[in-house]
Structure 1
């Protein structure tokens, strides 16, 4: 029996940050802890905005906080592939000039979102893969930490469960992400992940794909998705949600329709967060859980 689609939204006002910790099926007793982790990350992003930073800076900061939190399937503590190694995917995009940067199948670095940001700032290419991504990272001054520094016991246990043919219940989720609106009305989005537990070597999901896992356009909205990556790619869910907002839908309705379409068209599950140009935020999921948090000048909210 499929899970009901759950949606929520609100108004951020002048500026704000929304994050997600991954759609999936986290054990009920652990969900509050995941929501707390999201709230810490959203607060970190909001502090950037309070100090006059850009939406792009805010989503990078929030995503880094989630990458550094071993509760989540990104950065340190990300899930393991069939060889027992971490391979990261990440992307980031700003909505004014539509600049974007991404890395995929990247091994040995703790904060792939910042390497994606470096690709955006460099501007020559959008997406770097595998050893090319690692070479680019080293050239930009990022220091490899090695596989062992990234692997946690929880990730090893999840891999062992998956190798036995079972879904690792209690895993954090599929991805982390952040969207932000700054005081100048600019939007940005970021997404980062370790992918799918026991994935084939070389598998790349939606998180580094602009339009599938991440999208930001000041004229439409900012979106980060999580869930079944192959489905997100096939239907370009991040761009789809943005186009709904361009057409006048508020963020909550835009992501709800997109997640409904994902399930109805190809039977895939997942979730998404978004901010529209008017400052409304929204989130939607068709999974048992998706930790999230939103922070703005006058308040904050979180859930799972």
Structure 2
């Protein structure tokens, strides 16, 4: 049985930003009482003009910047997308100009990159240029030290990926078993696992690829989708994807059922077997 892990929300570290704000205000006060004009010290005034709003933002903004829970990680500079633990290989600490950053090393960087909103990808490009990796977490300004945050991430990753299984009804399925496949990138394509297909958005992605003959779902995959999302959930996903009839739920349900049968799974009896498309007869496999 998998361990239950609490949700952790990490915000900007108020003491750090408070010290920054205090230092800037003292510097501005010193410049003022010393009658040092901006023309004589433009660089110092510019730094204060930039640092003071940033410090105020860090003090007042109480929204979570990094969320860690059983499902995975959400980070503000990644566009707050959910990065599941199964998508991460490991974490590394990398350094740049004396500062340390935690970098998540994805199993499939291209696929994860494509999920990041376009507006936030520039942050990944800059991090990569600095040698920090595209998925770096700037933990220095967050609650807790970098050592503590790295320990939390590593612990959650270990608990959620080591020997993890997903139980659905009578089915016990290893998360390492591929349930769906997309042909790109070559040569091996992209495999989708149980941890992926719990997310309706990823199921929608698979449906999008299936309808243009670039992806397929295994019989075990269809069983997992039915057990996890139910037919009603898959019909709702189909309304966004358009693989089957979006306007007629009955036709959409018939289309989903047909795909299940062709793959070798009968959703009505919850059995695997073979399906004859010409006769419409499904022959259950004999139990060993």
TM category (shorter chain) comes to: under 0.3
- Bigger relative contact order, structure 1 or 2, given CA contacts below 8 A and separation 6+? 1
Task: Name the one with the larger helix percent.
Answer: 2
TM-score (norm 1): 0.26
Higher percent of residues as strand: 1
TM-score (norm 2): 0.27
